[in-house]
Amino acid sequence: MMASVTSMTFVIALYIFMLAAFTGYVVISRVPSILHTPLMSGSNFIHGIIVIGALNALFNATSIAEQAIGFVGVFLGAGNVMGGYVVTDRMLAMFRPSQKAEPARPEQEKPGQEKQGQP
């Protein structure tokens, strides 16, 4: 149905899922709890990529029903993308240290810095 250069077998799909799931896990595992809400809306934004799936379905629609559902799908997906982005951006902008021109305690702002530990 879509580009054959990206077609894959089920086993390969499992590999991709495994890698992606692992990536998601590692990337998030050290987020401080103050950032949970922006992170939630940020990842919400990312799954908005479903809009391109809906777009492809709509482009290939052959009946009124398909067009209607495809239209709804694209509308919802676009909302997810744009809404997720705007909301995340707004929230993160508040965390900008420059906002109050008081760059106080900058060392606390890098919670995950590499630290030489004792064995």
Q: Residue numbers of the site for its own copies (CB under 8 A)?
A: 4-12, 15-16, 19-20, 22-23, 26-27, 29-35, 95, 97, 105, 108-112, 114-119
By CB under 8 A, residue 107 contacts another protein = no
Tell me the closest approach of the beta carbon of residue 69 to its own copies, in angstroms: 29
| Of residues 42-81, those binding another protein (CB under 8 A) | 42-63, 65-67, 69-81
- Cα separation, 24 vs 27, in Å, equals 5
Tell me the closest approach of the beta carbon of residue 100 to its own copies, in angstroms: 11
Number of residues located near another protein, criterion CB under 8 A:
107
**Residue pair 47/20 in contact by the 8 Å Cβ criterion:** no
* 98 binds, options its own copies, another protein, none, Cβ within 5 to 8 A by partner type: none
Q: Look at phi and psi of residue 113 and say left if phi exceeds 0, alpha if psi is from -120 to 50, else beta.
A: beta
Q: Annotate 49-74 with DSSP letters as a single string.
A: GHHHHHHHHHHT--SHHHHHHHHHHH
Tell me the closest approach of the beta carbon of residue 70 to its own copies, in angstroms: 25
Task: State the number of CA atoms in the 13 A half-sphere of 59 facing the CB.
Answer: 8
End-to-end CA distance of the chain: give it in Å, rounded: 54
Tell me the closest approach of the beta carbon of residue 80 to its own copies, in angstroms: 23
| Of residues 20-39, those binding another protein (CB under 8 A) | 20-39
Which helix (H) or strand (E) is 25 found in, with range? helix 10-28
